[in-house]
């Protein structure tokens, strides 16, 4: 009788070992960004929706997640978060692909279709389609940078906040205008002097005259208090951009039980809907805040928008070729244009990929 009992015990132990990863457990995960959570609504969405929603669904499966918050550059500054996730310094982060113009050139596809949709929700949905239709984008993150794509979001509709009033694109000639890397060509095309910068240093730079304008969206303009030092905000409709990309360290991901992996992927997908909605709400409130503070808030005429769009070089085709040359999927740009048109977006310049 002893041998059958021992065999049963051995089988039970083997069963427990095989089921081990699915057993309830506690996990401590560090999540961060280069931007601060309170000033940047896309990070607010990570802190107030993504993290607690993952924790809530994990708890329903018997898991407990302890989040260690590392926002505002406390672990990775802008341009460092890709490497922080790659090495495991952070488990999860917003990569903010605008600050990885070389390594993640292909992921910046939305920047390469200027004057696209101004609605962050439309842009985020279109961008999620691109990630689904161009799997090489996810593969780059996984095979080159040791991380798993979780979701994509969108910053708001880029406009121009300036220390001076203007209503014609010709008036921007010679003005020092700040921008993040991928949107520098937008200002160069109209004769402005582009200055590479980031939001964390913008307020002081305006005060000290480093530049006279910033290519920026309303919620970040107010979140970083730029309207206090630059009293003119012009809605140019450059478009919202999907620069917000959530990723998790691949080694961390593989150590998690399957049900928790699925939760992260599911909530990451839902982030594409929730975060832009928060962005739109914050943008409307920010426009009201700027007006109430006495800022000059106005919209650029359709004529000037078309003039600006037509003054640009053929950015979509130029960048498609550049992305391909870098060994990344240039077709992401064409897929993004296709997804925008499928959503009913009417572009002021009908970009065609050759």
Write the CATH number for 149: 3.40.190.170
Mean residue pLDDT across the chain: 92
Question: Strand, coil or helix: what is 331?
Answer: helix
Is residue 5 in some structural domain? no
Number of domains, the chain: 1
When pLDDT is averaged across residues 176-184 and rounded to a whole number, the result is 88
Residue 180's pLDDT band (cuts 50, 70, 90): confident
Is residue 254 in some structural domain? yes
Using an 8 Å Cβ cutoff, are 217 and 156 in contact?
Answer: yes
Q: Is the pLDDT of residue 4 over 80?
A: no
Polymer length of the chain: 354
- Write the pLDDT tens digit of every residue in 157-177: 999 999 999 999 999 999 999
Q: Is the pLDDT of residue 10 over 70?
A: no
Q: What is the pLDDT of residue 7?
A: 42
Is residue 12 in some structural domain? no
- Write the pLDDT tens digit of every residue in 99-144: 999 999 999 999 999 999 999 999 999 999 999 999 999 999 999 9
Q: Is the pLDDT of residue 13 over 90?
A: no
Between residues 304 and 14, which one has the greater pLDDT?
A: 304
Residue 16's pLDDT band (cuts 50, 70, 90): very low
Q: Is the pLDDT of residue 9 over 90?
A: no
Q: Please give the Cα distance from 53 to 339 (Å, whole number).
A: 28
Q: Please give the Cα distance from 106 to 97 (Å, whole number).
A: 9
Residue 182's pLDDT band (cuts 50, 70, 90): confident
Q: Please give the Cα distance from 305 to 237 (Å, whole number).
A: 8
Is residue 6 in some structural domain? no
Q: Is the pLDDT of residue 280 over 50?
A: yes
Is residue 256 in some structural domain? yes
Q: Is the pLDDT of residue 5 over 60?
A: no
Q: What is the pLDDT of residue 253?
A: 98
Which residue range(s) make up the domain with 307?
A: 27-342
Select from 171, 225, 174, 235 the least CA-distant residue to 199: 225
Q: Is the pLDDT of residue 2 over 60?
A: no
Is residue 21 in some structural domain? no
Q: What is the pLDDT of residue 140?
A: 98
Using an 8 Å Cβ cutoff, are 239 and 115 in contact?
Answer: yes
Q: Please give the Cα distance from 159 to 164 (Å, whole number).
A: 14
Is residue 348 in some structural domain? no
- Write the pLDDT tens digit of every residue in 19-65: 344 467 899 999 999 999 998 999 999 999 999 999 999 999 999 99
- Write the pLDDT tens digit of every residue in 220-231: 999 999 999 999
- Write the pLDDT tens digit of every residue in 295-339: 999 999 999 999 999 999 999 999 999 999 999 999 999 999 999
Q: What is the pLDDT of residue 23?
A: 61
Instruction: Give the list of residues 6+ apart from residue 297 with CB closer than 8 angstroms, or none.
Output: 233, 235, 287, 290, 291
Using an 8 Å Cβ cutoff, are 19 and 25 in contact?
Answer: no
Select from 229, 275, 223, 244 the least CA-distant residue to 94: 244
Q: What is the pLDDT of residue 204?
A: 96
Is residue 42 in some structural domain? yes
């Amino acid at each position: 009788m002893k041998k059958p009992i021992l065999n049963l015990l051995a089988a039970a132990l083997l069963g427990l070992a095989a089921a081990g990863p699915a057993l309830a457990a506690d996990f401590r995960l560090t999540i961060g960004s280069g931007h601060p959570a309170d000033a940047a609504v896309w990070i607010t969405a990570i802190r107030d929706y993504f993290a607690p929603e993952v924790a809530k669904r994990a708890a329903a499966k018997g898991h407990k997640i302890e989040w260690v918050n590392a926002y505002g550059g406390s672990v990775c500054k802008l341009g460092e978060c890709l490497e922080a996730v790659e090495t495991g310094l952070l488990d999860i982060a917003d990569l903010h692909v605008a600050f990885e113009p070389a390594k993640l050139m292909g992921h910046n596809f939305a920047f390469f279709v200027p004057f696209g949709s101004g609605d962050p929700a439309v842009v985020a949905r279109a961008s999620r389609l691109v990630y689904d239709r161009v799997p090489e984008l996810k593969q780059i993150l996984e095979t080159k940078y040791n991380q798993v794509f979780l979701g994509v979001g969108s910053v708001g509709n880029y406009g121009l906040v300036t220390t001076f009033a203007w209503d014609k694109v010709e008036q921007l000639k010679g003005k020092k205008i700040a921008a993040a890397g991928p949107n520098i060509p937008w200002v160069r095309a109209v004769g402005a002097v582009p200055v590479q910068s980031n939001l964390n240093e913008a307020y002081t730079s305006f005060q000290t005259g480093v530049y006279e304008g910033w290519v920026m969206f309303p919620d970040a303009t107010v979140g970083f208090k730029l309207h206090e030092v630059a009293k003119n905000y012009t809605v140019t409709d450059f478009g919202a951009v999907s620069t917000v990309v959530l990723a998790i360290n691949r080694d961390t991901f593989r150590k998690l039980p399957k049900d928790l992996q699925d939760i992260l992927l599911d909530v990451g997908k839902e982030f594409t809907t929730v975060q832009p909605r928060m962005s739109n709400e914050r943008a409307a409130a920010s426009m009201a805040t700027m007006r109430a503070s006495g800022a000059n808030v106005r919209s650029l005429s359709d004529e000037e928008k078309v003039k600006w769009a037509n003054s640009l070089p053929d950015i979509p085709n130029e960048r498609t070729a550049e992305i391909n040359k870098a060994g990344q999927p240039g077709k992401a740009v064409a897929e993004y244009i296709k997804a925008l048109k499928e959503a009913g977006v009417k572009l002021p310049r009908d970009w065609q990929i050759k």
